[in-house]
Amino acid sequence: MMKDREPLMKITATASVLALCAGAAFADCDTVTFSDVGWTDITTTTATATHVLEGLGYEVETSILSVPVTFAALESDDVDIFLGNWLPAQSGAIGPYLDSGEIETVATNLEGTIYTLAVPAYTYEKGLQTYDDIANFRDELDGEVYGIEPGNEGNDYLISLTEDETSGLSGFDVIESSEQGMLAQVSRAYEDQQDVVFLGWAPHPMNANFDLEYLTGGEDFFGGEGVVNTVTRQGYVEECPNVGQLLKNMSFTLDMENAIMGQILDEGADPAEATEAWLVANPGEWEGWLEGVTTLDGEPGLDAVRASLGM
């Protein structure tokens, strides 16, 4: 009986190998697609990665998508990579995709992040120091909390608190806007020394531009210090191992992101130009990313990227 089964086993094994080879053959690794959710920090890291990948010979496409749409696009294989999975804040949103395997975590690219409600230091000194304190400042705040783009999971959490009668935010309105729109409102309030509460985070130049304090009380959702992970669509690292190795190697620092974001937001620098200038000026910070990475044609990756940057 064992001899009778051998041909079938060989056919099955051959079919499996052919299927794997076919999948690899049809994997489009020449073009790399990112999602950028429109936050300056993710624009910064995505632009930086784009320079490196283009130096290696890849085509790069980037779509501006909200966080929920990003996760759906990764699930449907319309996007390959997202460099902005902030945790723990996005844990609930990304959890089902990670559990199903439709999205895969490749690496942690940033540590020491902060993301929660913030106030100017002068408001903090008045006594608005926790989420529970917000109710005592309803009049000073005009019953408003400033969030970022609609659909953001941080906004959704704050909105849920406004609907909870036991919450300090009960009855408040969450004003949803872009990052730039929110910060413009904060800037106006700050110049007039008016009280304002808003979603803040680090890394970001807002921490240098304003004297800020972060509120306690939102740790159940926002956590304390967090991380940012690199995530991909299912199977991407296996299909495109060279890009996958770069993603595993690539990590950023708070100082790097703050410096580049400051140029973009405060000086009006183009993200592509600001990130290229940083790469040229700081080779020691990124050359290690190219360890074990080649060009699209199999040549040494580091030499090619340096050449593409005019170094």
Crossing angle for the helix pair 67-75 and 91-100, to the nearest 10 degrees: 0
Element (H or E) spanning 200, and its range?
strand 198-202
d(CA 51, CA 192): 41
Does the pLDDT of residue 23 top 90, yes or no? no
For residue 15, what pLDDT is reported? 39
Residues 239-267, mean pLDDT to the nearest whole number = 95
Q: Is residue 28 very low, low, confident or very high in pLDDT (cuts 50, 70, 90)?
A: confident
How much is the pLDDT for 2?
Answer: 35
27-112+226-308: CATH topology? D-Maltodextrin-Binding Protein; domain 2 (3.40.190)
CA distance 113 to 254: 8
For CATH 3.40.190.10, the residue range(s) in the chain are 27-112+226-308
Q: How far apart are CA 62 and CA 80, in angstroms?
A: 10
pLDDT in tens, 212-243: 999 999 998 998 889 999 999 999 999 999 99
State how far the Cα of 187 lies from the Cα of 111, in Å rounded to an integer. Answer: 27
Global pTM reads 0.81
114-222 domain in CATH 3.40.50.1950?
A: no
Nearest to 158 by CA among 167, 187, 194, 37: 167
Where do you find CATH 3.40.190.100 in the chain? 114-222
pLDDT digits (tens, 9 = 90+) for 53-74: 999 999 999 999 999 999 999 9
Q: What is the mean pLDDT of the chain?
A: 91
**In the predicted model, is pLDDT for residue 198 greater than 90?**
yes
3-class secondary-structure state, position 232:
strand
Closest Cα partner for 94 from 65, 62, 72, 110? Answer: 72
The span from the CA of 284 to the CA of 261, in Å, is 20
Q: What is the pLDDT of residue 10?
A: 38
**What does the pLDDT read at residue 236?**
98
Reported confidence tier of residue 262, pLDDT bands at 50, 70, 90: very high
Residues 116-172: tens digit of each pLDDT: 999 999 999 999 999 999 999 999 999 999 999 998 889 999 999 999 988 889 999
Q: Is the pLDDT of residue 5 over 70?
A: no
**What is the model's pLDDT at position 152?**
87
Instruction: Identify the weakest region by mean pLDDT among 18-32, 200-214, 219-233.
Output: 18-32
Q: What is the pLDDT of residue 168?
A: 83
pLDDT > 90? residue 301:
yes
Gyration radius of the chain over CA positions: 23
- 304 has a pLDDT exceeding 90: yes
Greater model confidence, 23 or 230:
230
Between 305 and 8, name the one with better pLDDT: 305
Residue 80 has pLDDT above 60, yes or no: yes
CA atoms within 13 A on the CB side of 303: 6
Nearest to 199 by CA among 131, 122, 263: 131
Please give the pLDDT value at position 27. Answer: 60
- Residue 14, pLDDT > 90, answer no
pLDDT score recorded for residue 1:
35
Residues 258 and 204 sit within 8 Å (Cβ to Cβ): yes
